[in-house]
Structure 1
Amino acid sequence: MKNVNDIWEKDGYILRPAKKEDAENYYQQNYNPLDPEVARLTGCKPLFTHDEVVNFFLSCIDDEDRYDFLIISPNGSIIGESVINEIDWELRSANFRIGIFHSDICGKGIGSWATRMTCGFAFEKLHLHRLELDVFSFNPRAEKAYLKAGFKREGVLRDAVKDGDNYADDILMAILEDEWKAMQQ
């Protein structure tokens, strides 16, 4: 089912499937260098080599158990991604993650919009039953956006991550297909 042609547009922003030819721009526009605040909020390391990013990106395109969508700004730059990964087709369950790569773009509703579109794709096209994620307690803006999108808190892994010298919680959240459908009415 990997052949996806869905494209969504809002206020000049586009959400579309990632393509192999995006790999170089994906690296240059987002990881050269990675915004330190984005690295902090997502829990990833602050520096990546060109080959690490490009090779991982290309491997994602061919992976049958994930769908990677890119968020494109009105000027054509890749500014983020919205991903369904770790799909368990038997359980009809998957992980969801989203990243806006530039902290100055956050707070404009683009991530919330991309989350809604990606959830719609997960439940309506892939016919998933469950979409789950985790968010760090030091990222309350993201947790609020997930709650608004219909995700519910399912648990907390206390002091499971570090934020600098301090421990923080890893909050587990999920949305089920019936909850998604109810929100659409």
Structure 2
Amino acid sequence: MQLLRDHDEVPHLPQLHTHPSPPSRAHRTNRAGRRSIPLPGRPRPGHHARMIDTTALAEKPVLTGDRIRLVPLSERHATAFHATFQDPETRRLTGTHQDWSLAGLRAWIAECGARTDRLDLAIEDRETGGYLGDLALSRIDPANAHAGFRIALAPSATDRGIGSEAIRLLLGHAFERVGLHRVQLEVFAYNDRARRAYERCGFVLEGRMREALHWDGAWHDVLVMAALRPERAGAR
């Protein structure tokens, strides 16, 4: 099981406005258009100041399953992480065009522990501590309790149910501890094995981005799937 890619690093275009933005609800303006001192105000209808528990993202968890444990991604995983993405089949299943140096990867991993806008975890064998892959929640939208998801397994960890166990552990944390309502992923249309595994974990196919990946001289569709907290009980 491999997921497509992590979009957290994709730059976003600035939001454009054709009209001036209205003043914040915490301020009032007088007839001359001047802004007065801040005033306490009630939240707008449908607005929630805090939908998720952001401390759950700052406090990196250790999640233990029957055969695996999820631990904060750290420098000790860097070499195995780097080796995983040198594997041709892993690169195909994740659509990885980019090459990382080991030094660059170590620098990126060093930043993960302090980030509160995403959660990066390594998958380890519970008995041996061996590296089995990694997974992440990223692009977290606190106002809408939404996050993106990615996973990549080491070649030795495929076809063993490791990915499904890891996904269920992380979804449990995402929904029950972080308080997310929705977790979304993207997977390539040619990766039927991963799609079926995601469905068993509670993800539902929602859409298709046509010819969004160019790989090995051909265009491929990308499938959009999501899991919702109210539907979690139905996941097998």
TM-score past 0.5 threshold: yes
Q: Pick from 6, 15, 18: which aligns with 2:70?
A: 15
2:201 equivalent in structure 1: 149
Pair 1:4 & 2:60 matched = yes
2:143 equivalent in structure 1: 90
Counterpart residue identity of residue 137, structure 2: I
- Mark the CA change 1:8 to 1:99 in structure 2 (over 3 Å): closer, same or farther: same
SS of the counterpart of 1:90? helix
2:227 equivalent in structure 1: 175
1:100 equivalent in structure 2: 153
Contact 2:135-2:151 within 8 A present in 1 as well: yes
Contact 1:39-1:46 within 8 A present in 2 as well: no
SS of the counterpart of 1:154? strand
If asked which structure has higher relative contact order (CA below 8 Å, sep 6+), I would say: 2
CA RMSD, Structure 1 to Structure 2 (Å): 1.8
Structure 2 distance, partners of 1:101, 1:65, is: 25
1:119 equivalent in structure 2: 171
- Mark the CA change 1:128 to 1:114 in structure 2 (over 3 Å): closer, same or farther: same
Greater share of strand? 1
Q: 1:3 deviation in Å?
A: 1.2
Unaligned runs of 5+ in 1: none
Counterpart residue identity of residue 91, structure 1: N
Contact 2:188-2:221 within 8 A present in 1 as well: yes
For normalisation by structure 1, the TM-score amounts to 0.89
Q: Which runs of 4+ in 1 moved over 6 A?
A: none
Contact 1:30-1:79 within 8 A present in 2 as well: no
Identity, in percent, stands at 31
Q: Pick from 128, 133, 136: which aligns with 1:75?
A: 128
Q: Pick from 37, 56, 80: which aligns with 1:29?
A: 80
Q: 1:183 deviation in Å?
A: 2.4
Structure 2 distance, partners of 1:56, 1:87, is: 18
- Mark the CA change 1:184 to 1:47 in structure 2 (over 3 Å): closer, same or farther: closer
Counterpart residue identity of residue 69, structure 2: I
Q: 1:46 deviation in Å?
A: 6.0
SS of the counterpart of 1:171? strand
For normalisation by structure 2, the TM-score amounts to 0.70
Rg bigger for which structure? 2
Counterpart residue identity of residue 216, structure 2: G
Counterpart residue identity of residue 17, structure 1: P
Q: 1:184 deviation in Å?
A: 6.6
Q: Which stretch shows the higher mean deviation, 42-51 or 125-134?
A: 42-51
Structure 1 distance, partners of 2:111, 2:133, is: 18
Unaligned runs of 5+ in 2: 1-54
Aligned residues: 178
